[in-house]
Structure 1
Amino acid sequence: MVDKLPVSPSPLVTAPGAVPAPEGSPDAGVAWHHGDPLGEQRSAERSAVVVDRSHRFVIAISGPERLTWLHTISSQHVAALPDGSSAENLSLDVNGRVEHHFVQTDLDGVTWIDTEADRGPDLLSFLTKMVFWSKAEPRDGNELAVLSVIGPDATAVLDAAGVAAPAEPYAAVAVAGGGFVRRMPWPTADSFDLLVPREGLATWWGRLTAAGAAPAGTWAFEALRVAAVRPRIGLDTDDRTIPHEVRWIGGPAEHGAVHLEKGCYRGQETVARVHNLGKPPRHLVLLHLDGSAEGRPEPGDPVTAGGRAVGRIGTVIDHYELGPIALALVKRSIPTDTELVTGPCAASIDPDSVPVDDAVQAGRAAVDRLRGR
């Protein structure tokens, strides 16, 4: 839960029809929905919507060594990130547990990072402390605010609003008047983040809705994200989460946040050991919840099987087609047909959401060869 907003509440949250996110929500300060949360989800999958995500914390990093420096203290391969490119990235602790998840875009000599509202100040503090002698200058970059345009008509909406939509995931282009637009591979295949000057937030909202995007809240964004089995740090992770458990392994081409072929960084030993020799103890799955139950589980509630805890619940949301769904970290050994309970709800694992991890790791294969197996 968020006790204090590090970014001022959005001016759009008081617009007619906007319903603010619940107090204490990680999305506090922006609209939860605009009167029809399920209809907004349908529009996001059938036409186009715009979602106010201006509560995300933005950091700007300048300096000629910004990329090589960031490369050494994070999990993604970004030392030579081309201008106009983006990547997802992590900061890990010494045991390989996830501390921060962020999206970074390098454009015109500046790296822009956006992350969760409640974690942004800590991430900025960490980056500032890690500069040492490097020619990199991290600072608060909240002069830019995030709007997301989602749906099969998103490109047409952006074009009508005077924005050139990038064709490839993680590509970014500058926007006239300041800011940039980047294409994201989630929560749908047609998703764009538009980072615009914060003082022009209302103007951009009006321009995008006039261009054909229906107003939508974070409820719609979160429902699509959960259905796509994309984790959100702090909701779908805990203080024990390692990247393998929540599908963050891979470079930008794999839409991941941990590159497996890069130099040393904090937490790398755990990443390499699990990748080469072991399996993660848990994995992220989609749960279908019993909609007839009175109430819903809360993030962090245990997931049980036969009265025994086998996981933890993450984001819980109502989807316009799937009904009540949730993400959960569950033990990898739990069969998909296991009857589960979380909070007041019976739950079942969506078998299509279970990652396939039956490949023999390179390190394990090498050990077997040495032993003559």
Structure 2
Amino acid sequence: MIDWNDRWKEFLIEQGAVVGDDGVRHFAEADPHAQSRLAAADDILADLSHLGLIRADGPDAAAFLQDQLSNDIRRVDAGHGQLSAYCLPNGRMLALVRVFLRAGAYYLQLPATIQPATLARLKLFVLRAKVTLASADREFVRLGLSGPIAPRLLRAAGLTPPEHTDEAAEQDGITLLRLPGPHPRFEIIAGLEAGQRLWTTLAGQTAAVGASAWSWLDIAAGVPMLQPGAIGEFIPQMVNLDLLDGVSFQKGCYPGQEIVARVHHLGRVKQRLFLGHVAAGARPAVGVTIRAAGSDQGVGRVVDAQPAPAGGYDLAAVIDLDRIETALYLDGIPGPRLTLQKPPFSTGNF
């Protein structure tokens, strides 16, 4: 359940939002497939309260995160964020987080559904470190903006947008993050009043959509967030985090580092994340098994699935590389086979 900023939630409802326990479901356009069509072609605006925030601050914050996450936290500054994994000792991921710096504190963004458990586990390892970890869900409001003219809209609102993926900028108390996507895509982190002003300004020039459309953009970019059902299932390379600059193989130890490094240095990854589509009548659940035709053996799992613009569901799934040319089906979902494509950033055979 989302830890809402109540005043922000009330503001969104006044703007026409239909809100559920999992975030904003829709505004004027209720059909989730139509919302994905808007995200695929037009300029859209979304509330991102379905994503949680963990704040890490204090003299030892950077050193603490360096010891816990897969990426090199020293590369995070006011102008650059990064993706990173938080892993178990066996290398399997507990969370995929987006890390950014704001006003001297580090913030880890991840799905709100797994934020409390992730925060509780991180706190176990603070020990004597001079670092404070806390939920920051109520501190800021977060807006998502994507579309062909998104940079122009930000400039018209008096903001200078970052030009490249993972770049960040802070201006007048507003943080901008550049995200990957089929169109220029940005996250805006601001205080309540500034967020309300920006929403009012941008809403007149965009289509407001629910959380599922924003998650569809994550899938289209090949960067789905890990949800319950996918926790503890994958090492970072399986979800292509090494290809997304989300793993440093030069930094020191962190939970799971030995396994992650061994896979990198000694062997080919046997599973990778692919994008897919299935003409199913219901959304495939996170973690559902993917099977090859004529076999009871699982060859992959769904990481996330969202309504596709043309109907059916687009999904991200980790698949055995030696089975990607075979006919694949979702376990327990009768109907057409699963069609696959590589993420937009992949090259060759991974």
Per-residue Cα deviation, 1:143-176 (whole angstroms, up to 9, x for no partner): 1122111112111111222222112222222232
Counterpart contact for 2:2–2:49, Cα < 8 Å: no
After TM superposition, the structure 1 = structure 2 runs for residues 16-35 of structure 1, keeping only pairs within 5 Å, are: 17-20=16-19, 28-32=22-26, 34-35=28-29
Q: Which residue of 1 aligns with 2:181?
A: 187
Change in CA separation of 1:198 and 1:115 when aligned onto 2, cut-off 3 Å: farther
**Does 1:285 find its partner at 2:274?**
yes
Q: Which residue of 2 aligns with 1:5?
A: 2
Q: What is the CA-CA distance between 1:87 and the residue it aligns to?
A: 0.9
Per-residue Cα deviation, 1:242-280 (whole angstroms, up to 9, x for no partner): 111111115xxxx33211221111101110111112233
Worse overlay, 45-54 or 195-204: 195-204
Counterpart contact for 1:286–1:326, Cα < 8 Å: yes
Where 2:225 maps in the other structure, the secondary structure is coil
Worse overlay, 71-80 or 342-351: 342-351
Q: Which residue of 2 aligns with 1:347?
A: 337
Q: Distance in 2 between matches of 1:196 and 1:303?
A: 40
TM-score, structure 1 as length reference: 0.81
2:240 alignment partner, one of 225, 240, 247: 247
Q: Distance in 2 between matches of 1:106 and 1:81?
A: 7
Per-residue Cα deviation, 1:66-95 (whole angstroms, up to 9, x for no partner): 223211221101125333321111111100
Q: Which residue of 2 aligns with 1:206?
A: 200
**Does 1:302 find its partner at 2:292?**
no
After TM superposition, the structure 1 = structure 2 runs for residues 32-51 of structure 1, keeping only pairs within 5 Å, are: 32=26, 34-35=28-29, 37-51=32-46
RMSD over aligned CA atoms reads 2.7
Counterpart code for 1:191: R
Q: What is the CA-CA distance between 1:356 and the residue it aligns to?
A: 5.8
After TM superposition, the structure 1 = structure 2 runs for residues 221-260 of structure 1, keeping only pairs within 5 Å, are: 221-234=214-227, 237-250=230-243, 255-260=244-249
Q: Distance in 2 between matches of 1:102 and 1:134?
A: 21
Unaligned runs of 5+ in 2: none
After TM superposition, the structure 1 = structure 2 runs for residues 55-134 of structure 1, keeping only pairs within 5 Å, are: 55-134=50-129
Q: Distance in 2 between matches of 1:221 and 1:165?
A: 19
TM-score, structure 2 as length reference: 0.86
Q: Which residue of 2 aligns with 1:274?
A: 263
Q: What is the CA-CA distance between 1:281 and the residue it aligns to?
A: 3.8
**Does 1:167 find its partner at 2:163?**
yes
Counterpart contact for 1:219–1:317, Cα < 8 Å: yes
Q: What is the CA-CA distance between 1:226 and the residue it aligns to?
A: 2.2
Q: What is the CA-CA distance between 1:296 and the residue it aligns to?
A: 4.5
Q: What is the CA-CA distance between 1:339 and the residue it aligns to?
A: 4.3
Q: What is the CA-CA distance between 1:12 and the residue it aligns to?
A: 5.0
Counterpart contact for 1:55–1:145, Cα < 8 Å: no
Q: Which residue of 2 aligns with 1:366?
A: none
2:212 alignment partner, one of 203, 206, 219: 219
Q: Distance in 2 between matches of 1:80 and 1:353?
A: 25
Q: Distance in 2 between matches of 1:108 and 1:180?
A: 10
Unaligned runs of 5+ in 1: 360-373
Q: What is the CA-CA distance between 1:235 and the residue it aligns to?
A: 5.8
Counterpart code for 1:152: P
Q: Which residue of 1 aligns with 2:304?
A: 315
Q: What is the CA-CA distance between 1:33 and the residue it aligns to?
A: 5.1
Q: What is the CA-CA distance between 1:340 and the residue it aligns to?
A: 2.7
Q: What is the CA-CA distance between 1:322 and the residue it aligns to?
A: 7.1
Where 1:195 maps in the other structure, the secondary structure is strand
Whichever of the two has the greater Rg, that structure is 1
Per-residue Cα deviation, 1:23-46 (whole angstroms, up to 9, x for no partner): 6xxxx1323453154444344344
Sequence identity, in percent? 25
